[in-house]
Structure 1
Amino acid sequence: MAPPRRHCLLLISALGVFALNCFTKGQENSTLIFTKENTIRNCSCSADIRDCDYSLANLMCSCKTVLPLAVGRTSYNGHLTIWFTDTSALGRLLNFTLVQDLKLSLCSANTLPTEYLAICGLQRLRINTEAKHPFPEQSLLIHSAGDSDSREKPMWLHKGWQPCMYISFLDMALFNRDSSLKSYSIENVTSIANNFPDFSYFKTFPMPSHKSYVVTFIY
């Protein structure tokens, strides 16, 4: 005799919940940070969110508000996406932060100044300037994980700050142009402060000398 219809529906519902849980556990959440109206929202998302759709991010992701003064040096091993409208908060979020896979989406038509961000350990960069230029998303592979020396141990000079051997300088003025992403690297740099004296933030974040750095400029 066939089981009652109500029992079949319960069985189907249970199987659906089980399948959804298995699928969700298999997904690695990505980090989304967006700045809007002097607030910073840090979100954990299980699915990609359309760029600059703040309402959808608040609905679909687990988000919390972070005070600007509470932003400290940290590291991101997975995907990090940042939506921004100007460069004021980006320096606090990214300067000398360890990020391997980064996407930056400009969510306004503002003209950005020629400022440089210093990012540690960057392997891949993606940018989206759709709010300013009708240009497709661009991607740039800086170096692969196999290029880094796994034996290199991070050194902590200041609380909450971790230096690295691969440093990328990102020219924020590139968001004003509709040209392709470009980069070049300099290897075996032993003293970043001496070789690049115009970057004043090395006074705030001193880098140890006599290390073999790989410096990449992205423009």
Structure 2
Amino acid sequence: MRMLGHAETRMAPPSGHSLLLICVLGIFALDCFTRGQKNSTLIFTRENTIRKCSCSADIQDCDYSLASLMCSCKTVLPFAVERTSYSGRLTIWFTDTSALGLLLNFTLVQDLKLSLCSTNTLPTEYLAICGLKRLRINTEAKHPSPEQSLLIRSGGEHDPREQPPSLHTGWQTCMYASFLDMALFNRESSLKSYSIENVASIANNFPYFSHFKTFPVLSNKSYVVTFIY
């Protein structure tokens, strides 16, 4: 009689299709994790101070305590604010326009959200923003209403006049200029915009914008100017 030994269980090696599926799922999971960890920039102005934060999650508008708890924040002195650029999302909570000029004028921002955290009436002042693609505003503190969003230009389009964000060094490489009327926060009307192409000189074409007279003139170049109101 033939004796039967203990059965030996062996795991078959994964097939080529299984290995491919495992690799694809791994790459997908890593991509989701990386995107989930991508931080956004939050800046809020309060009581003559400017706080700049890096947040890994969205914070409810104007919740200063939660922002200080959930984000990595530091105080920035007004005279130490430098002209910079933001390739990711930038959110600014503000109560008046005094600090916004320091933070936004002649700054490269592609995705911007502005939240008014007071009931103050804002003056008719224009902020000049470079390279803006998407703008969101929230006026809940003044006019309780849903957040408004405005797509100025598609993020997927390519224009030879625009360099990648990492190559921007200031207005000398900015072909898209957006002028934002801060008085729009006083109204309950919808967010609107219109654009003018092939503007050779902003200072000459818009003489009433006196503080834009320092806007550099680019030889053999033209701007696309967008007014947001």
TM-score calculated relative to the size of structure 2 = 0.80
Gaps of 5+ in 2: 1-28
Aligned length in residues: 196
- For residue 25 of structure 1, report the CA deviation from its aligned partner: 7.2
1:75 and 2:82 are equivalent in the alignment:
no
Of 171, 174, 182 in structure 1, the residue corresponding to residue 181 of structure 2 is 171
Deviation at 1:205, TM superposition (A): 4.0
The yes-or-no answer on 1:196 pairing with 2:206 is yes
Deviates more, 1:178-187 or 1:142-151: 142-151
Query: Is 1:214 the counterpart of 2:224 in the alignment?
Result: yes
Q: Deviations over 1:178-214 (max 9, x none)?
A: 0100000001111111001111222344343542210
| Alpha-carbon distance, 1:151 to partner | 6.2
CA distance in 2 between counterparts of 1:181 and 1:151 reads: 27
Give CA deviations for 1:143-169 in whole Å, capped at 9, x if unaligned. 01334425644675xxx6654000110
Larger radius of gyration: 2
Measured after TM superposition, the shift of residue 171 of structure 1 is 0.3
Tell me, yes or no, if the aligned pair for 1:24 and 1:46 is still in contact at 8 Å: no
TM-score (norm 1): 0.83
Give the match for residue 139 of structure 2: 129
Residue 42 of structure 1 is matched in structure 2 by 52
Supply the distance in 1 between the matched residues of 2:33 and 2:85 (Cα, whole angstroms). 27
Q: Distance in 1 between matches of 2:129 and 2:65?
A: 29
Instruction: Map Cα deviations across residues 16-65 of structure 1 (whole Å, 9 max, x no partner).
Output: xxx9xx94774210000000011000000000000000010000000000
CA distance in 2 between counterparts of 1:151 and 1:176 reads 35
Decide whether the 8 Å contact of 1:97 with 1:162 is kept in 2.
no
| Higher alpha-carbon deviation: 79-88 or 193-202 | 193-202
Whole-angstrom distance in 1 between the partners of 2:184 and 2:152 = 16
Contact 2:130 2:171 in 1 (8 A): no
- Three-state SS of the structure 2 residue aligned to 1:80 is strand
Unaligned segments of structure 1, at least 5 residues: 1-18
Q: Residue 111 of structure 1 is aligned with which of 121, 136, 149?
A: 121
Pick closer, same or farther for the CA change 1:61–1:24 going to 2, 3 Å.
farther
Change (3 A) 1:25 1:134: closer
Percent identity of the aligned residues?
A: 84
* Secondary structure of the corresponding residue to residue 145 of structure 1: coil
1:105-162 per-residue CA deviation (whole Å, 9 max, x = no partner) reads: 0000000000000100000000000000011100000001334425644675xxx665
Give the alignment's Cα RMSD to 1 decimal: 2.1
